[in-house]
Amino acid sequence: MKNILQRTAVLAGAAALAGTVMAAPASAATPASICGSGYYVLDSHAVGAYATVYVLYKSGGDNCAVTLLKKPDGKKHQLGVYLRYQGGTMQKDVDMYSTYAGPVYVHAPSKCIEWSGLSGIDDGTYVSPWEFCD
């Protein structure tokens, strides 16, 4: 009888612990939290049906881009993000990710930028025009 009571207590403790772990909220990544302090979203665009690419800005001419899955499913998918200023080198991050690609950064005060995203789930792509030239 003592063994049964001990096992019951252990199982009850494990169930309580599992319930606590399961109840903990997942922290969702946002474009601003990925890029860092001071960045805000300038624009976004769908990349196929499953992802969105975002371009962000921080005062002083700092730009950031990230591609996020709309509904992460725990699996890794090919995701990509690209960012460059006119006349500059392309900054990119393309790999297999479960949540997002990036961030990538360019410092481009008073220069036009081009930002792009890729989702290998459905071969979605988006390439912006040259913009934010002020």
pLDDT tens, per residue, the chain with 134 residues: 444 434 434 334 444 434 433 333 345 889 999 999 999 999 999 999 999 999 999 999 999 999 999 999 999 999 999 999 999 999 999 999 999 999 999 999 999 999 999 999 999 999 999 999 87
Q: Provide the whole-model pTM.
A: 0.79
Number of Cβ within a 10 Å radius of residue 1: 5
The phi and psi torsions of 10 (rounded to 5 degrees) equal -65, -45
